[in-house]
Amino acid sequence: MMTPRNVADSPIVLIRGAGEQASGVGWALHKAGFRVVMTEIAQPLMVRWPVCFGTAILEGSWEVEGIQGIHLDSPLECPRVWQQGKIPILVDPDLKHLPQIRPDVLVDAIMAKRNLGTTIDWAPLTIGMGPGFCAGKDVHKVLETMRGHNLGRLLNSGYGEPNTGIPEAVMGYTKERVLYAPVAGIFEAKRRIGEEVRAGDILGLIHQGEQATPVQGNLSGVVRGLLRSGTTIVMDESSDVRIKVGDIDPRFIEEYCWTVSDKARTLGTSVLLGIIEWMNGGK
């Protein structure tokens, strides 16, 4: 566990977003001894919420693989939480607290497929994860998040690979694994994460007043992710972005539901490498 002395001396890393991939980055950087603080929206859409530090927004605190995130109302409380060896989580999607936090490093890990306002001057080192960022213009570095040969590569100029809209393949399944909301409304989970399901099973309902629209699975496997009951789903008709509500893993390995994914670990390690390289005088 970090001691008060080396906590106070370590760089501050602000991670914008506290979803699945962002949590993998936060987990890795915290393990490496950095003072990590994460921000989220008030009602986060998290399918794999058991492995998301953003769940602390709803629960008050949440643990991911031995590391605890604590929901705070003010950034002034961050030093106390850092001293406890935990990660502060703030509701601050627009980063209004940025002047108070004054991070050494800022990582935009919202994974929105586009830049939602992050600028290169927000911190001495800024890293944008995924498509929509231009290294050398919007941020200092872009982290490639597309699975394949370049996953985890840090770019010092230009853009990462564009979003294909196709989920990663697991045992040959891509789009079949992921469940999307057919309508807007209030989600009600009818199955639990870690439960085995069969193709055609109803995993949830989306309520619109007295009407309920079922959300059915497309293949057999383990429910790896599912929105929490009570989550509000808003549909933007002007956007082609679909709202993900569930994820089925055809490998039938329940353990994978409760641990940081291979992709999130890879991205976390890459961000750590980028920060260390920068601290040592590299680009």
Query: How does DSSP classify residue 85?
Result: T
- Is the same domain home to 226 and 95? no
Whether residue 155 sits in one domain with residue 226:
no
Same domain, 244 and 271: no
Q: Is 236 in the same domain as 198?
A: yes
Judge whether 148 lies within some domain. Answer: yes
Residues 41 and 137 placed together within one structural domain of the fold: yes
Q: Give a yes or no: residue 229 inside a domain.
A: yes
pTM over 0.75, yes/no? yes
At residue 7, the pLDDT reads 67
Give the pLDDT score at 112: 85
Predicted local confidence at residue 240, as pLDDT: 63
The reply to whether 159 and 179 lie within a common domain is no
Give the pLDDT score at 19.
97
Domain identity same for 124 and 182: no
Nearest to 68 by CA among 16, 141, 116, 18: 18
Measured between alpha carbons, how far is 281 from 79 in angstroms, rounded to an integer? 27
Cβ pair 13, 34 in contact under 8 A = yes
Same domain, 142 and 10: yes
**Collapsed DSSP state (helix, strand, coil) of residue 214:** strand
Question: Does residue 75 belong to any structural domain of this protein?
Answer: yes
44: in domain: yes
Q: Residues 6 or more apart from 112 whose CB is under 8 A from it?
A: 130, 132
**Within a domain: 169:** no
- Tell me whether residue 170 is in a domain: no
25 and 99 co-located in one domain: yes
Alpha helices by DSSP H, listed for 113-244, are none
Residue 42: give its domain's CATH number: 3.40.50
Indicate whether 255 belongs to any domain. Answer: no
How many whole angstroms separate alpha carbon 103 and alpha carbon 172? 41
The CATH number of whichever domain residue 210 belongs to comes to 2.40.50.100
Say what the pLDDT of residue 136 is. 95
Taking 70 as the pLDDT cut, the residues of the chain under it are 1-7, 164, 169, 237-240
Query: Looking at the structure, do residues 101 and 197 belong to the same domain, yes or no?
Result: no
Name the residue range of residue 192's domain: 175-250
Same structural domain, 139 and 266: yes
Instruction: Quote the number of domains for the chain.
Output: 2
Give the separation between CA 252 and CA 236, rounded to whole angstroms: 34
Does 45 reside within a domain?
yes
Find, among 282, 209, 216, 211, the residue nearest to 246 by Cα. Answer: 216
Return the pLDDT at 73. 96
Q: Is the same domain home to 61 and 117? A: yes
